Structure 1
Amino acid sequence: MITLPGFRHDPCSAVHPLGVGSPAFAGMPLARHGLEWIHPELPLAHPFPDGTAAVLSRSVAETALSLGPGDAGAYRRMLAPYTGHWDTLAADFLRTPWDGLPRDPLRFARFGLDAIRPSTWLARRFGGDKGRALMAGLAAHAIAPIGGVATGGVALMFALAAHEVGWPLPRGGSQAVSDALASYVSELGGTIHTGVEVRRLDELPPARAYVFDTSPTALARIAGLGSAYWRYRYGAAAFKVDYALSGPVPWTSPQARIAGTVHLGPTATEIDAALRAAVEGRDPEVPFLITAQPSLVDPGRAPEGRHVLWAYGHVPAGWEGDATEVIERQIERFAPGFRDLVLARAVAGPPQLAARNANYVGGDIACGAFAGLQTLIRPRLARVPYATAHPAVFLCSSATPPGPGVHGMSGHHAAKAVWRVLRAK
C-alpha cells in the first residue's frame, strides 16, 4: 500500500507503448501468463489552459485535426512514410548496430534522418503552438532539453506507437508485467531469488555467464572492473507523486478526461525551460508533468467512485527539495479544484527513488543521461556494448542499447551476445 487501502499505484512506470509493441515481448507467451493490455479511449491528451487540447489518438487523422487546420497536413505528412510499418521499424529502432543489418534498410535510413534531429527541428513543420507543444511533450520523455540530438526520434517513435499499437496499461498495474515474465521464467525451469543484495561477483554461484541489470557503475564495483565506466554520465532526476483521489481529475479539457496519459506544459518553450532547469541544477518553478490515469480504464485500481493519479516532473540529480507544491500548482492550471479531491499522496523525490531502485542513480530513472555521444553510444564505445572486460560478465540494463523503456530489448540483445560467446567456447 502506498497511499490508502484499496488504491493500487505503480511506483515506477505505468503506461507502456514500447511494451505492447516490443519485438522481445511479442516472442513470449505473456498473455498465457496473465498479462492483459488494456487501452484507454484516448492514448494521450495535451491540454491547454483554455480547455482545448492536442491529442495523440489511435487515428492519425484525429490527431492531425486536433492540431488545427493549418498543421493537420504537416502532421499527416510527417507520419505517412512510417505508418503501417511498426513491426520492422520497431525492430530496427530498438536494435543494436552490431546485430546485423536493419530489416527494412531504406525505410530505417529515412526514419534515421528524421530521428537523429532535435525535436525542435521537426516542430518547425508546424505553424501553431499545439503541434509544437505535442512534439515537445513526447520528446521530453528523454529527460533532456528538446533541442538535443535524437530527441526527434523519441517524439516520432512515441507518436507512431500510439497510432500503431496504442499506449496501453497492464490490467492490475505494471506489476503484472513482472509477474508474467517471472511466471514464464519458472515455466522454463528458472529460479528467481529476491531480497538478496549482491556486493561481489564471488557471492554468486559458479556459472558460465552472469548478466547484470544494474547501472554501469554498480556493475564495475560488483565485478571488479575498476574505472571501466568512469566517463558514463547520469542525468536529471524525477520527482514523483502518487495520488488517491475522491473522484476523477476535473480537467477543463474534455479530451483529458478520457486519456490514459496527460502531458502538462502549454508551450514547447515552457517544456524546454523545465527540462533545462533540471539538467542545469536549478530548482523547479513551472515543471513539465507527465501524468497517467490508470483507474479510468482499470476501475479495479481504486475503490468504487475513487481514482488514482500517477504524476512526475523533472528536478536536478540528487535534489533533496519538495516539488509537491509546484506540481500541484501546475495540475490546477488545467484542472481547477484538483486539490479538493486529494485523499492522500505519496511523494518520492530523487533520494527516495534511488533508495527504491539502485539503478536510479541520483533519481535518474533513465539510468543515464540522454546527452551528447552518450545518446547514441552507451554505456561506452564497444563493438558489443553488453560485453565487459570480464569474459563471463554482461550488462543488460537500460544503460545499454536501445536505452530506457519497458521493452525488454536490452535483455534480448544481451542474451544474444551471451549465446554467441557460449557457442564459441
Structure 2
Amino acid sequence: MVEVVVVGSGPNGLAAAVIAARAGLSVRVLEAQEQAGGGSRTAELTLPGFHHDVCAGAHPMAKASPFFRAFDLAAHGVDLLTPTVSYAHPLDGGVAGLAWRNLESTVADLGGDGRAWRTLFGPLVENWPDVVDLAMCDLRHPPLKIATGIKFATRLLEQASPLSDTIFQGDIAPAMFSGVAAHAITSPRAFPAVGAALLLGTLAHAGGWVIPRGGSQAIANAMIADIESHGGEVVTGHRVDDFAELAAARAVLFDTSPAELLRVAGDRLPERYRHGLGRFRYGNAACKVDFALDGPVPWAAEGADLAGTLHLVGTRAEAAYAEHQVDSGVFADKPYVLAIQPGVVDPTRAPAGKHTFYTYAHVPNGSDRDISEQVIDQVERFAPGFRDLILAKHVTPAAFMPDHNANYIGGDISAGAMTTRQTLFRPLARWNPYSTPIPGTYLCSSSTPPGPGVHGMSGLHAAHHLLRKRFGIVTDPLDLLRGSAPAYR
C-alpha cells in the first residue's frame, strides 16, 4: 500500500513528495498531463528545436526559497543561469529602467532617483534571506525577524499609499516598481501586489532572476529524480476523477485548485467546507503568446538586450490604467505584457542564431480571445522591427489555460485572485490552511500560503503538517532536504 499520494505534479506537489520520500514514506505522484511539472514545464510549442517554457519562465525563487536553498538545485544538476540585468522596463523614447543584479549599478543608472531606490531596497537586499523567510512562511507562524519585518511593513504601507507618488521624481523608477507589482495581475498599488514587488525587487538585486539551462522542465526533472531515488514514483497521464481511488493511502495531498479538490472529493467534504471552497475567487488572467524568432529582439533602449525579463506597459500611470481596465472586465487598450528572452543566457533554447521569446498579457478571466496582435504591437512599441523577426507563434488564450494546467481556472495563473483577504486567508479562513475535513487529506497548491510562484513552499508547509499529524515524524523538513537528520518519530 502506498502511504502518501500526491495529486498533481506542480512544484508544490513535487516538493511535498520529495519531503515525504526522504522521510522514508512510500510516495506516488499522479499527474493528469502526459508531462510532469505543472508550472515548470518546457516544450517545443512553435517550431522544432525551439524550447519554450509552458508556464513559468524566470525563477526569482529557484535559489532563494527555503525549500530550494535546502534542496540545492545546482547540486541536482540544474544549471541556473543569471542574466546581468534581472528585469528591464522600457519606456517610450528609447530609454529603460534596468534592475541590475548589483543594486548600486541600478542606483547609478537612476540618477536623481537612485538614492530613493537605495533607500527602498537597500535594507531589504542586505537582509534578503530574512525577507524571503518572512514572505514564504505559512502566515500563521511568521519567523521572529522583527527588524526585517518592520522594514518590510513600512515599505509596504508606503508603496501601497499615495505617499509612493512622492518618493520618486522621474518616470523610470516608479514604472520599474509598478512593473514588478503587476506580476500579481491586479492593481499595482494593492497590498499583495506591493508585497510581491518588494520581494521580487529585492531578489533582483540579491542573486538575480535565474533562468534554468534548457528550460523550467529542468527544475521539475531534478525533483522527480530525487523522488524516484528515494523509492517514490511519478505517474503521468493519470487523471483522478474519484476520491475512492485514493482512499487506501494514509495521506493524500492535492496540488490542485480548490475547484479540483471539490470535483474529486465532492460529497466527502462537509457542506460548510464545500461552500467555502466554492466561494474562493479566481482572478484576472493571462493570454500567453510564444514566439520563434529569426534573431534577438531589437530593443530601442540600451541595456534591454541584457535582461532576462521585461515589463512592457510604459509608465506607472499606464500600468495602473491597464490593470484597472482588466479589473473592470474589459481588455486593456495597451495591455501589460511580461516578456522573457532566455537566449540572453541560454543558447540551447533555439537553433543557432535563432531565439525563443515568451510573453503573456493580462486579460479578463475566461477570455477566449487571441490578443497576439496587441502583444506584438506592445513589443514593437519598444522594439521596432520585432514583427519582421517572427518565424512562428503559439497562442494560448486564457480560457484554454486549464487544458494544460487545471489549476489555472479561466486563465488565472495565480491559482486564486490576489486580494488582500485571499492572500492572508488562502483558500479559507482556517488556522491550518492546508488541512481539509477529510482525515489525512491536504491542499498544497498555490491556492494556499504563501501563494503563487515556483518556490515549493506550499508543498513544504503541507508536508510538515502531514508528517507530524499522520506519521508522527517530527524532523524539520528542511533538515530532511539537507540530509542532515534522519526522519525521527
**TM-score, normalization: structure 1?**
0.96
What SS is found at the alignment partner of 2:359? strand
Give the Cα–Cα distance (whole angstroms) in 2 for the partners of residues 290 and 366 of structure 1: 14
**Which of 57, 61, 74 is the aligned partner of 1:14?**
57
Question: CA separation in 2, counterparts of 1:373 and 1:158?
Answer: 21
Within the alignment, does 1:221 sit opposite 2:263 as a pair? yes
Q: Report if the CA contact (8 A) 1:118-1:148 is conserved.
A: no
Is 1:58 the counterpart of 2:101? The answer is: yes
User: Could you tell me how far 1:400 is from its partner in structure 2?
Assistant: 0.4
State the partner residue of 2:137: 95
Q: Which residue of 2 aligns with 1:47?
A: 90
Take 1:323 and 1:236, find their aligned partners in 2: how far apart are those partners?
15
Q: Secondary structure at the match of 1:379?
A: coil
**Matched residue SS, 1:210:** strand
C-alpha distance in 2 between matches for 1:39 and 1:404: 22
Are residues 1:79 and 2:121 paired?
A: yes
Whole-Å separation in 1 of the counterparts to 2:296 and 2:409: 34
Distance 1:423 1:139 in 2: 40
For 1:111, which of 152, 165, 168 is the aligned residue? 152
Q: Which amino acid aligns with 2:243?
A: L
- Name the counterpart of 1:186: 228
Which residue identity lines up with residue 397 of structure 2 in the other structure? G
In structure 1, the partner of 2:401 is: 353
Of residues 196-205 and 232-241 in structure 1, the stretch that sits farther from structure 2 once superposed is 196-205
Aligned equivalents of 2:391, 2:347: Cα separation in 1: 17
Contact persistence 1:91–1:103 (CA under 8 A): no
**Offset, 1:370:** 0.8
Q: Residues 270, 29 of structure 1: CA spacing in aligned structure 2 closer, same or farther, 3 A cutoff? A: closer
Q: Which residue of 2 aligns with 1:241?
A: 289
Structure-2 residue corresponding to 1:317? 365
Aligned match of 1:289: 337
Question: Partner residue of 1:308?
Answer: 356
CA offset digits 1:80-123 (Å, max 9, x no partner): 22222122221121101333x41422322331232356546445
- Contact 2:120 / 2:155 at 8 angstroms: preserved in 1? no
Distance 2:344 2:194 in 1: 30
In structure 2, what residue type is equivalent to 1:55?
Answer: L
Structure 1 counterpart of 2:319, one-letter code = I
Q: What's 2:314 paired with?
A: 266
Gaps of 5+ in 1: none
Q: 1:83 to 1:33 in 2, by over 3 A?
A: closer
1:390 deviates by 1.1
- 1:341 maps to a residue whose letter is L
| Residues 50 and 292 in structure 2, CA contact (< 8 A), matched pair in contact too | yes
CA contact (8 A) 2:289 2:358 kept: yes
- Post-superposition, which runs of at least 4 consecutive aligned residues in structure 1 deviate over 3 A? 116-124
C-alpha distance in structure 1 between counterparts of 2:76 and 2:413, whole Å: 27
CA distance in 1, matches of 2:263, 2:372: 35
User: Any conservation in 2 of the 1:240–1:348 contact (CA below 8 Å)?
Assistant: yes
TM-score normalised over the length of structure 2: 0.84
Instruction: State how far apart, in whole Å, the 2-side matches of 1:223 and 1:105 are.
Output: 41
SS at match of 2:425: coil
Alpha-carbon distance change, 361 to 322 in structure 1, aligned in 2, over 3 angstroms: same
> RMSD between aligned alpha carbons?
1.6
Partner residue of 1:204 out of 233, 246, 249: 246
Aligned counterpart for 1:391 among listed residues 436, 439, 449: 439
User: Could you report, residue by residue, the CA deviation over 1:278-327 in whole angstroms, capped at 9, with x for unpaired residues?
Assistant: 22210232011110101121001111110111011100000111211111
1:251 aligns with 2:299: yes
Please tell me whether the aligned partners of residues 440 and 470 of structure 2 are also in contact (alpha carbons under 8 angstroms): no
Residue 351 of structure 1 deviates from its aligned partner by: 2.1
Task: Tell me, in whole angstroms, the C-alpha distance in 2 between the residues paired with 1:375 and 1:270.
Answer: 25
2:46 maps to amino acid: T
- Deviations 1:335-354, CA, capped at 9 Å, x for gaps: 11110000000001112212
Q: Would the alpha carbon gap of residues 269 and 200 (structure 1) be closer, same or farther in structure 2, given more than 3 Å must change?
A: same
The equivalent residue for 1:4 is 47
Relative distance call for 1:39 and 1:123 in structure 2 (3 A) is: farther
Task: State the Cα distance separating 1:70 from its structure 2 match.
Answer: 2.1
SS at match of 2:381: helix
Question: How big is each residue's C-alpha offset from its partner over 1:236-259, in whole Å with a ceiling of 9 and x where there is no partner?
Answer: 110111100001001001211111
The one-letter code of the counterpart of 2:216 is S
Distance of aligned partners of 1:118 and 1:199 in 2 relative to their CA distance in 1, 3 Å threshold: farther
Name structure 2 gaps, 5 residues minimum. 1-43, 474-489
C-alpha distance in structure 2 between counterparts of 1:349 and 1:289, whole Å: 14
SS in 2 for 1:199: coil
Hey, what's the Cα distance between the residues in 2 that align with 1:380 and 1:95? 17
- Partner residue, 1:144: 186
For residues 185 and 358 of structure 1, the distance between their equivalents in structure 2, rounded to whole angstroms, comes to 23
Aligned length: 423
Q: Retained in 1: the 8 A contact 2:94–2:382? A: yes
Paired position in structure 1 for 2:19: none
Amino acid at match of 2:301: S
Letter in 2 for 1:148: A
Structure 1 residue corresponding to 2:172, chosen from 116, 126, 130: 130
Secondary structure of the residue that 1:27 maps to in structure 2? helix
Sequence identity (%): 42
Q: Which one is further off, 228-237 or 394-403?
A: 228-237
Partner of 2:414: 366
Separation (CA, whole Å) in 2 of partners of 1:361 and 1:386? 20
Give the CA deviation at 1:205: 5.6
Q: Distance in 2 between matches of 1:29 and 1:127?
A: 41
In 1, the alpha carbon distance for the partners of 2:68 and 2:424 equals 23
SS of structure 2 residue aligned to 1:394: strand
Match of residue 155, structure 1, among 181, 197, 217: 197
Q: CA deviation at 1:29?
A: 4.3
Deviation digits for residues 116-170 of structure 1 (CA, Å, limit 9, x no counterpart)? 5654644531111111100100100111011212322111111110111211100
SS of match in other structure, 2:348: helix
Mapped to 2, the partners of 1:8 and 1:44 lie a distance apart of 21
Structure 1 residue 75 displacement after superposition: 0.8
Is the contact made by 1:38 and 1:171 (CA closer than 8 Å) also made in structure 2? yes
